[in-house]
């Protein structure tokens, strides 16, 4: 009985997230004809693929008690870098993607090294990284660059048919990244080290855990995820834009917190991030189905949910300390 109670208490944020998603989806299905369908559910994933991929990397960073404000800027930088290399310099897409992923990972590794080596606040270092990546994107091009490549057409049009359901490439990318993030976060020593750092860094140090490599590694991985999100965004939009991803880092943080991950680190679940993406997408889809509501209602609802989860986290932490 005590074990069951402890497990329920431990998973309470995740359970609340799942309940909110179920309630939102059921309510929208009741009011809007055609909402309750596999097509709509798949679209929640495909329409928010690059945001979800960025949220996976952000989840790992927040696990460790850190934060990364450079995610949106890295998405914009990677998208315009990829588009410029392919269209203006005739670079093969595979090579352009590799260079974009390497650039995002290098920026993440640099920020992680500064944060660990000089004990600098992640907020300030990643804020500097945000300005650096955004400025570099506009240095490459101030205008959007369209991508007219046969491979892009094939990938963006690809659908994996499962029974009577067609799953677009964007949804497949997101599911693959979330599954990878779930394995890394919950089934590797690296993931357990991140949670230990977020719970109590001093205790993790006394236990002999590799604090430095883990911190540098998680920011490198987050930079990789942000760059991958930028590449997926070019597949979705068919272009690169240095303005892409403005404010997206805040959406990613909101998704992670709504997903039940403690903003102070040390506790969370990758499944919660997936549920956060689905909640975000459900609100968007419901507004589109209604047709009368402004898109700003999504921000209002997300803000209200974020406040609820912050209060829930405060309650959870007080119970734990008590």
The Cα–Cα gap between 45 and 162 comes to: 15
Lowest mean pLDDT among 67-76, 157-166, 180-189, 222-231: 157-166
The helix (run of H) or strand (run of E) holding residue 132 is helix 122-140
162 pLDDT tier (thresholds 50, 70, 90): confident
Q: What is the pTM of this model?
A: 0.95
Which range of residues forms the domain containing residue 314? 2-321
Q: Is it the case that residue 322 has pLDDT exceeding 60?
A: no
Task: Give the count of beta carbons closer than 10 Å to the beta carbon of residue 234.
Answer: 30
Q: How many domains does the chain have?
A: 1
Q: What is the pLDDT of residues 269-311, one digit of tens each?
A: 999 999 999 999 999 999 989 888 777 888 888 888 888 888 8
Q: What is the pLDDT of residues 193-245, one digit of tens each?
A: 999 999 999 999 999 999 999 999 999 999 999 999 999 999 999 999 999 99
317 pLDDT tier (thresholds 50, 70, 90): low
The Cα–Cα gap between 50 and 72 comes to: 10
The Cα–Cα gap between 153 and 56 comes to: 26
The Cα–Cα gap between 58 and 256 comes to: 7
CATH number of the domain within which 131 lies: 1.10.3470
């Amino acid at each position: 009985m005590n074990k069951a109670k402890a497990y329920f208490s431990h998973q309470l944020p995740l359970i609340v997230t799942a309940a909110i998603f179920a309630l939102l989806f059921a309510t929208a299905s009741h009011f809007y004809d055609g909402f309750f369908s596999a097509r709509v559910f798949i679209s929640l994933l495909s329409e928010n693929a690059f945001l979800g991929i960025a949220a996976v990397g952000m989840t790992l960073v927040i696990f460790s008690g850190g934060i990364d404000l450079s995610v949106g800027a890295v998405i914009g930088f990677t998208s315009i870098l990829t588009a410029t290399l392919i269209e203006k310099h005739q670079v093969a897409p595979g090579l352009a993607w590799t260079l974009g992923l390497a650039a995002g990972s290098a920026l993440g590794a640099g920020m992680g090294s500064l944060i660990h080596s000089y004990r600098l606040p992640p907020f300030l270092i990643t804020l500097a990284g945000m300005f650096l990546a955004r400025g570099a994107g506009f240095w490459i091009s101030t205008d959007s660059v369209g991508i007219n490549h046969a491979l892009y057409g094939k990938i963006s049009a690809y659908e994996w048919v499962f029974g009577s359901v067609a799953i677009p490439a964007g949804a497949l990318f997101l599911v693959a990244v979330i599954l990878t993030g779930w394995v890394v976060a919950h089934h590797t020593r690296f993931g357990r080290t991140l949670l230990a750092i977020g719970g109590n860094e001093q205790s993790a140090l006394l236990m002999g855990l590799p604090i430095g490599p883990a911190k540098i590694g998680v920011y490198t991985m987050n930079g990789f995820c942000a760059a991958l999100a930028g590449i997926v965004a070019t597949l979705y939009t068919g272009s690169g834009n240095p303005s892409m991803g403005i404010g997206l880092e805040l959406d990613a943080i909101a998704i992670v917190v709504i997903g039940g991950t403690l903003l102070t680190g040390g506790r969370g679940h990758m499944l919660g991030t997936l549920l956060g993406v689905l909640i975000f997408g459900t609100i968007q889809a419901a507004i589109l189905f209604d047709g009368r509501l402004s898109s700003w209602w999504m921000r209002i609802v997300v803000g209200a949910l974020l406040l609820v989860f912050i209060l829930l986290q405060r309650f959870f932490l007080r119970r734990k300390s008590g």
